[in-house]
Chains A and B, each alone.
Chain A
């Protein structure tokens, strides 16, 4: 208990020190305040964003893009991953495809998607879905492959149909692995959503960060980065809560 206290204090001190140094460097023109405005003006810009409500407008766009794409990706990843894990046919059919698409950084596909889907929401959703599906898919697949043989034997001795075995035994038993994949997909999905907004968006956090930079409103730009960081942290916290509720037996 005491040690975590000490660690917490040290952590806080190091953050304060960095912010303090940043303020100092900016005030004394070690770096140009035009490029790196002092934290105090970033904070002022942030307060203004919250006060006039613009933060919600931009946040809403990013949340909608990210959450919609993320849910599609999780559904696809779980369905395809479990199908590949349970069926030799599906595995033979899809494994070469999955393995050849997986290593491609999905952001590299954005220009190609522009050609086919245009510069707009369809491209943005596609790229986020594409990126976030793979970790879920791979983990679901490996979860099924690593299924405890005692569990599958149990289902067989009870004469479970194939569909019931998948729905009532394989899927719940694989949930911990699926959550691991969904956690990776979460951070990957946010990154790709922001990149998509920068490249093809008319609004949203990614768009506004690039937009304020181009307008040289650097204090606002940094304020939006802070908003983005807070959004990521909130997603992560929420995810951990949901995970604990969904798989309480995990780690026992």
Chain B
């Protein structure tokens, strides 16, 4: 299987000129196959978000390269979209829900206004926000705001989703709804997805493979395949003994790493 996204020995060193340079990421190589759902978990401050921003082309790595379909990329790749943890800051407060979703479509050359509107309405319905088109983001709840961000991301016609702890700021029930929604969208559209999270259960629930990162300087500790059946279900999947085993295994790896760091 061809890798849709490849990381080739990524290093990131922060050097602000004062004192010792900080090695954030110390050589990470990782592949995401076409259509695969890859999760990256790690202790907080290990540079997960930095790694995802490097994949998104928002940050330059100090060394190494990101490749898509085997070609080295520089700058944000066209068919990648990024879902931010801070969805409320990522949405355009001055645009209605409809206008937010229309945003990526407006820069498609030769697109007709009526078509853009039509497509946007369809995407808004797809994320379950039909009827809220004329509201402003700040008039809606956190979960609904992240749905707007998802619809807006879909409007960019992506095939790779980069998810930067996108559900960590909403309540537990909403989080489950959004997880299911994103999995369903990935299934329908055959997206490749890379999810960064500190929530091990979320990683196991959503991913095909989970990469565990170490403390700084960050490397990959291990990669765990998650062979749970799809479509995943918030009740039956989470109650599956295999789910609990995988969760246990990953938690042990993470806690062990933290204990080591404390020693």
Contact = CB atoms under 8 A, between A and B. Distances in A.
A113 interface: no
A156 B103 contact: no
Contact of B80 (A148, A157, A173, A248): A157
A173 B93 CA distance: 8
B89 A148 contact: yes
Contacts of B90: 150-151, 153-154
B86 interface: yes
B94 A249 contact: yes
Contacts of B93: 249, 252
B82 A157 contact: yes
B76 A157 contact: yes
Contacts of B107: 158-161, 164
Contact of A249 (B81, B104, B138, B156): B138
Nearest to B79: A159
21 contacts: A150-B84, A151-B90, A153-B53, A153-B82, A153-B90, A156-B57, A156-B58, A157-B56, A157-B58, A157-B80, A158-B107, A159-B76, A159-B78, A164-B107, A172-B92, A173-B94, A247-B94, A248-B136, A249-B94, A249-B136, A249-B138
Listed from nearest, the 8 A-B pairs whose CB atoms lie closest are: A249-B93, A150-B89, A157-B82, A172-B94, A252-B138, A154-B90, A158-B104, A150-B90
A193 B167 CA distance: 54
A138 interface: no
Interface in A148-189: 148, 150-151, 153-154, 156-161, 164, 168-169, 172-173, 175
A175 B94 CA distance: 10
Contacts of B86: 150
Interface residues of A, number: 21
Nearest to A152: B58
Per DSSP, are chain B's interface residues mostly helix, strand or loop, or mixed?
loop
A153 B78 contact: no
Nearest to B53: A153
Nearest to A172: B94
Nearest to B139: A252
Contacts of B94: 172-173, 175, 247, 249
Nearest to B94: A172
Given A151-B92, A153-B53, A154-B84, 13 more contacts: A150-B84, A153-B90, A154-B82, A154-B90, A157-B76, A157-B80, A158-B103, A158-B156, A159-B78, A160-B107, A164-B107, A169-B92, A172-B92
Interface string B66-89: 000000000010101110101001
Contacts of B156: 158
Contacts of A160: 107
Contacts of A164: 107
Interface string B27-57: 0000000000000000000000000010011
A168 B105 CA distance: 13
B138 to A, nearest CB: 5
Candidate in B94, B104, B138 with the most chain A CB atoms within 10 angstroms: B94
A30 B63 CA distance: 84
Interface in B77-123: 78, 80-82, 84, 86, 89-90, 92-94, 103-104, 107
B255 to A, nearest CB: 31
Contacts of B53: 153
Contact of B103 (A148, A168, A247, A252): A168
Contacts of B78: 159
A94 B135 CA distance: 41
A157 B89 contact: no
A252 B93 CA distance: 10
Contacts of A252: 93, 138
Given A158-B156, A164-B107, A247-B94, A153 B84 contact: yes
A249 B76 CA distance: 29
Interface string A213-252: 0000000000000000000000000000000000111001
B129 to A, nearest CB: 18
Contact of B81 (A157, A172, A173, A247): A157
A156 B78 CA distance: 10
Interface string B118-140: 00000000000000000010100
A249 B80 CA distance: 29
B92 A153 contact: no
A160 B53 CA distance: 17
